[in-house]
Amino acid sequence: MDLFNVYKRWDIEPVRGSGSTLWDAAGQEYLDLYGGHAVISIGHSHPHYVEAISKQIAKLGFYSNAVQNSLQDTLAQKLGVISEYPDYHLFLCNSGAEANENALKLASFHTGRAKVLAFGAAFHGRTSGAVSVTDNPKIRAPFNETDKVTFVPLGDLEAVKKELDTQAYAAVIIEGIQGVAGIRVPDDSFLKGLRALCDQTGTLLVADEIQSGCGRTGKFFAHQHAGVKADLITMAKGLAGGIPIGAVLINPVIQASYGLLGTTFGGNHIACAAAIAVLEVMEQEKLMAHATKLGEWFEQQLKGDPALVEYRGRGLMIGLEIKPEFVGLRDRLLKEKHIFTGASGERVIRLLPALNLPEESARKFVEAWKDLTK
Ligand SMILES: Cc1ncc(COP(=O)(O)O)c(C=O)c1O
């Protein structure tokens, strides 16, 4: 058997990691500013994280949701405090797409409505429901096509109003910051307007914070920069630092009933221990403040850079839109400078580093950038 060929992979196999450094089997060192796609929130193999998971698996690695699991309660309590959503409920699952599936299903159950409004260029995952609200027909099968989803341009409040006024929508789903689209930050005023329109029309606001959440932008969730609250917030990626997890934070007005949602693996002991350890490290090392500070530093260094069309982002969720003559820069950063970065197409380099990225690593990147673009 060989692997189903769905991933375009670099010809590099990291075998060891520490903080924001990776090594391949030959001992070559790499600077990781990609974090395995915003997952490595507290760096590779953080000692507190390693200890927490090791201790947990030695004690009890797994039991299903048929029994009590106080690790889930601890995680819910910690997440409530750090996210400033202490009165919300928590549902745990296994991935970002699964979190979005559950959030949209809950919104539909709660409102009794079938339609969902989503935004142009949005990415919410590849499973059937999640891909239906993803604005990329190339990854939708005929089975996923539906007349229940409408896309409107990000930022177009008039278009949102026209749709929501029909009172047919269960939910609006929006990324805190669009990631796959190349780091598109919705205006604070747009988010405020969206919240007001949802309130006026009985529509639930779903914030997909799978990439932009967990402290990456300097606040726990990106939508919080606009001073608004969402009704359902989805998380995954950085929350458990690499152990698969998905989470839905749920407005207490939404009722639960036994069996409505469920999963075998969701909220398992290892995932909870990992997520608790991530949140502890975030608190102890004040990583949201660090993300803010380092994000400002990156912006000072790179905004207006001659190689850039635009610098976008917040905190450590950064999109560098390069001029056409610099296409290929990401490959050169990897091959010549041994630096991992993310991308959105050929023209946007995405930085999604660990939130405890050291300042000297940030400086190393900027030096490499200037060297390759001079
Ligand atoms: C904003 C957003 N939503 C959903 C997903 C899907 O998450 P997962 O790959 O864990 O299913 C992603 C993944 O990149 C994402 O960036």
Q: Write out pLDDT tens, residues 268-293.
A: 999 999 999 999 999 999 999 999 99
Tell me the pTM.
0.98
Q: What is the DSSP string of 161-204?
A: HHHHTTS-EEEEEEESSBTTTT-BPPPHHHHHHHHHHHHHHTPE
For residues 304 and 301, give the distance between their C-alpha atoms in angstroms, rounded to a whole number. Answer: 8
Q: Cβ contacts of residue 62 below 8 Å, gap of 6+?
A: 265, 268, 269, 270
Q: Which residues pair with 246 in a beta bridge?
A: 93
Residue 47, helix vs strand vs coil: helix
Q: Determine the angle formed by the axes of helices 269-284 and 47-59, rounding to 10 degrees.
A: 150
Q: Which of 95, 123, 131, 206 to mutate to test the pocket of ligand 1 (most atoms within 8 A of CB)?
A: 123
Give pLDDT tens digits for 172-213: 999 999 999 999 999 999 999 999 999 999 999 999 999 999
Q: Which helix (H) or strand (E) holds 14?
A: strand 14-18
State the closest ligand 1 atom to the C-alpha of 127, by its place in the atom list counted from 1: 11
Closest residue to atom 3 of ligand 1, CA basis: 124
Per-residue pLDDT at 256 exceeds 90:
no
Per-residue pLDDT at 257 exceeds 90:
no
The structural architecture, per CATH, of the domain 48-284 is 3-Layer(aba) Sandwich (3.40)
Closest residue to atom 4 of ligand 1, CA basis: 124
Cβ atoms of 207 and 93 closer than 8 Å:
no
pLDDT of residue 231: 98
Q: How confident is the model at residue 46 (pLDDT cuts 50, 70, 90)?
A: very high
Q: How confident is the model at residue 341 (pLDDT cuts 50, 70, 90)?
A: very high
Tell me, what amino acid is at 129?
A: G
* Residue 179 Cβ < 6 Å to ligand 1: yes
Q: How confident is the model at residue 17 (pLDDT cuts 50, 70, 90)?
A: very high
Cβ atoms of 194 and 206 closer than 8 Å:
no
* Residue 96 Cβ < 6 Å to ligand 1: yes
Q: Which helix (H) or strand (E) holds 15?
A: strand 14-18
158's tokens: 């008039």
For residues 137 and 155, give the distance between their C-alpha atoms in angstroms, rounded to a whole number. Answer: 21
Closest residue to atom 7 of ligand 1, CA basis: 96
261's tokens: 């949602």
For the chain, the domains span: 14-46+286-373, 48-284
For residues 18 and 118, give the distance between their C-alpha atoms in angstroms, rounded to a whole number. Answer: 38
Per-residue pLDDT at 9 exceeds 90:
yes
Cβ atoms of 367 and 340 closer than 8 Å:
no
* Residue 210 Cβ < 6 Å to ligand 1: yes
* Residue 85 Cβ < 6 Å to ligand 1: no
The structural architecture, per CATH, of the domain 14-46+286-373 is Alpha-Beta Complex (3.90)
Cβ atoms of 246 and 127 closer than 8 Å:
no
Say how many C-beta atoms besides its own lie within 10 A of residue 257's C-beta.
7
Q: What is the largest CA-CA distance in the chain?
A: 61
Buried b (16+ CB within 10 A) or exposed e, 300-310: ebbeebebbee
Residue 102, helix vs strand vs coil: helix
State the closest ligand 1 atom to the C-alpha of 98, by its place in the atom list counted from 1: 11
Q: What is the DSSP string of 93-109?
A: ESSHHHHHHHHHHHHHH
What does pLDDT average to over the chain? 98
State the closest ligand 1 atom to the C-alpha of 211, by its place in the atom list counted from 1: 16
